[in-house]
């Protein structure tokens, strides 16, 4: 690559300091001090936890709500405030905060709790190693430590549905029953956070009743609420005049229309600001927001497609190859592709279900066309950029030879 090109990129980064004042406040992990429109939810959690200050054990709490409704941020905020109080009062309260999606096995969750509590600084025979112990031995070592050190614990498990989906609710059962095994001035209370509203139905009934002693639902934000959240964040993130009000309104409208998701709204802002910076302008414009939306959507589609099953990917390829978009034609191409891959094809009914799932995810659109006396038929159209599909196909060892099929 030409040295001049690199120098131009770096020089323009040095020069263009007109837009972003504080990048950190636009990142995923940033928790603002002020959480708007969540007083009711914060109060409910604080009230439930406040019994700790009166020497009691708080009920286990399950929090539900769609993505980006502020669940993680609110819980972190309440915990931080409570932690300040318990420190002042010398109450030995600890808050392991585990994200079950990142800690992808039940054992890994136990290991992380042990690390958080400092158990692995103890003698070897008391430690919870990275691998090698049974689940029950690891749990016993954690409970022994809690007894010995006389600790009170509020264990937060964020994205808790991902453990249950992996049939790991034994670990939840053990923790909800742990209080029977430790004395009354120590406890483990659980706060589970989930963005799936149906998560509870998948739980073992024994776990369900003890885990959801209390429940709290977070509703999606309205467009007006998102607008206020964005105005607050923009004051911290951008230099004055770098973002006109109309642009904030558009951002709120897009995120509000789709999901009421504050993360989506802030992501749009961050990506748009980066695009604006790169194009050397002094302001973020509505066009930057629209380009940001396209980029985010195509990144999300790419992610979904990469993680889809082989047959879903073959269905997508068949849709691309199809001329008239009818289910019958697509199924024919799908069978042909399966035979080339020496894969047993799924039934047409199952393929139609996959088509329905892809439609729900927004990767394709389906329309019913009335053909007069020939009846009605479904027309399926791809909604993702072909370059994303090509990238996914190229990276999939089983499918990489199909790149020729979709290139012409």
Ligand X SMILES: Nc1ncnc2c1ncn2[C@@H]1O[C@H](COP(=O)(O)OP(=O)(O)OP(=O)(O)O)[C@@H](O)[C@H]1O
Rounded Cα gap, residues 356 and 221, in angstroms: 28
Which of residues 25 and 354 has its CB atom nearest to ligand X in the complex?
25
Binding mask 178-197 for ligand X (x = CB under 6 A): -----------------x--
Which of residues 134 and 198 has its CB atom nearest to ligand X in the complex?
198
Residue 65, sorted as left (phi over 0), alpha (psi -120 to 50) or beta, turns out to be: left
256 is a contact residue toward ligand X (CB under 6 A): no
Which of residues 30 and 173 has its CB atom nearest to ligand X in the complex?
30
Which of residues 137 and 303 has its CB atom nearest to Mg ion in the complex?
303
Closest CA to 284 of 253, 243, 249: 243
How far, in Å, are 42, 66, 221, 303, 401 from residue 37 at the CA level?
10, 16, 9, 32, 52
Burial zone of 292 (CB within 10 Å; 0-12 exposed, 13-18 middle, 19+ buried): buried
199 is a contact residue toward ligand X (CB under 6 A): no
Tokens for 334?
A: 């799908």
327 is a contact residue toward Mg ion (CB under 5 A): no
- For the bound state, the minimum distance from the C-beta of residue 249 to Mg ion, rounded and expressed in Å, comes to 26
Q: Point out the residue whose Cβ comes nearest to Mg ion.
A: 72
How far, in Å, are 63, 283, 406 from residue 217 at the CA level?
6, 38, 45
Which of residues 72 and 212 has its CB atom nearest to Mg ion in the complex?
72
| Footprint of ligand X on 52-91 (CB under 6 A) | 65, 67-73
- For the bound state, the minimum distance from the C-beta of residue 224 to ligand X, rounded and expressed in Å, comes to 13
Rounded Cα gap, residues 197 and 270, in angstroms: 29
Q: Judged by CB under 6 A, which stretch of 26-34, 143-151, 166-174, 279-287 contacts ligand X?
A: 26-34
Which of residues 6 and 217 has its CB atom nearest to ligand X in the complex?
217
- For the bound state, the minimum distance from the C-beta of residue 280 to Mg ion, rounded and expressed in Å, comes to 35
Are 342 and 314 spatial neighbours (Cβ–Cβ below 8 Å)?
A: no
72 is a contact residue toward Mg ion (CB under 5 A): yes
Partner whose footprint covers residue 116, from ligand X, Mg ion, none (CB < 5 to 8 Å by kind)? none
Q: Which residue has the tokens 């016993």?
A: 140
Residue 306, sorted as left (phi over 0), alpha (psi -120 to 50) or beta, turns out to be: alpha
345 is a contact residue toward ligand X (CB under 6 A): no
Are 256 and 223 spatial neighbours (Cβ–Cβ below 8 Å)?
A: yes
Which of residues 169 and 267 has its CB atom nearest to ligand X in the complex?
267
38 is a contact residue toward ligand X (CB under 6 A): yes
Which of residues 260 and 325 has its CB atom nearest to ligand X in the complex?
260
Going by the DSSP 8-state scheme, the letter that residue 344 receives in this structure is: P
Contacts of range 276-280, beta carbons closer than 8 Å, 24 or more positions apart: 276/19, 277/13, 277/16, 277/19, 277/20, 278/12, 280/12, 280/15, 280/16
- For the bound state, the minimum distance from the C-beta of residue 189 to Mg ion, rounded and expressed in Å, comes to 19
- For the bound state, the minimum distance from the C-beta of residue 39 to ligand X, rounded and expressed in Å, comes to 10
| Footprint of ligand X on 262-281 (CB under 6 A) | 262-263, 266
Rounded Cα gap, residues 337 and 247, in angstroms: 46
44 is a contact residue toward ligand X (CB under 6 A): no
- For the bound state, the minimum distance from the C-beta of residue 195 to Mg ion, rounded and expressed in Å, comes to 7
Cα angle value 281/286/290 (rounded, 5°): 105
Residues of this chain that interact with Mg ion (CB under 5 A) are 72
Residues of this chain that interact with ligand X (CB under 6 A) are 30-32, 35-38, 65, 67-73, 195, 229, 262-263, 266
């Amino acid at each position: 690559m030409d040295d001049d090109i690199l120098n131009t990129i770096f020089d323009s980064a040095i020069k263009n300091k007109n837009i972003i004042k504080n990048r950190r406040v636009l990142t995923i992990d940033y928790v603002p001090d002020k959480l708007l429109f969540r007083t009711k939810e914060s109060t409910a959690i604080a009230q439930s936890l406040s019994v700790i200050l009166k020497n009691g054990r708080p009920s286990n709490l399950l929090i539900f709500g769609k993505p980006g409704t502020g669940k993680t941020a609110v819980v972190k905020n309440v915990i931080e405030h409570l932690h300040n109080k318990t420190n002042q009062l010398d109450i030995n309260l600890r808050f392991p905060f585990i994200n079950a999606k990142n800690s992808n096995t039940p054992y890994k969750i136990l290991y992380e709790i042990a690390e958080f509590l400092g158990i692995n600084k103890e003698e070897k025979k008391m430690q919870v190693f990275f691998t090698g112990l049974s689940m029950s031995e690891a749990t016993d070592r954690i409970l022994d430590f809690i007894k010995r050190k006389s600790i009170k614990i509020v264990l937060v498990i964020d994205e808790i549905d991902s453990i249950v989906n992996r049939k790991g609710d034994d670990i939840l059962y053990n923790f909800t029953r742990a209080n029977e095994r430790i004395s009354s001035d120590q406890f483990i209370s659980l706060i589970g956070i989930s963005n799936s509203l149906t998560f509870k139905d998948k739980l073992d009934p024994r776990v369900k009743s003890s885990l959801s002693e209390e429940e709290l639902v977070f509703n999606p934000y309205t467009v007006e609420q998102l607008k206020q959240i964005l105005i607050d964040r923009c004051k911290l993130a951008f230099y004055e005049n770098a973002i006109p009000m109309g642009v904030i309104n558009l951002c709120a409208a897009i995120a509000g229309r789709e999901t009421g998701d504050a993360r989506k709204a802030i992501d749009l802002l961050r990506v748009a600001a980066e695009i604006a910076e790169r194009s050397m302008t002094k302001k973020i414009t509505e066009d930057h927001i629209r380009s940001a939306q396209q980029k985010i959507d195509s990144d999300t589609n790419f992610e979904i497609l990469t993680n889809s099953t082989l047959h879903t990917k073959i269905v997508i390829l068949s849709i691309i190859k199809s001329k008239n978009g009818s289910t019958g034609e697509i199924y024919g191409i799908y069978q042909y592709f399966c035979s080339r891959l020496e894969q047993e094809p799924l039934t047409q009914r199952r393929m139609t279900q996959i088509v329905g799932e892809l439609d729900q995810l927004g990767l394709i659109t389906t329309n019913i066309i009335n053909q007069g006396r020939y009846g009605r038929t479904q027309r399926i159209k791809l909604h993702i950029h072909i370059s994303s599909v090509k990238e996914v196909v190229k990276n999939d060892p089983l499918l990489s030879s199909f790149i020729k099929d979709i290139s012409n």
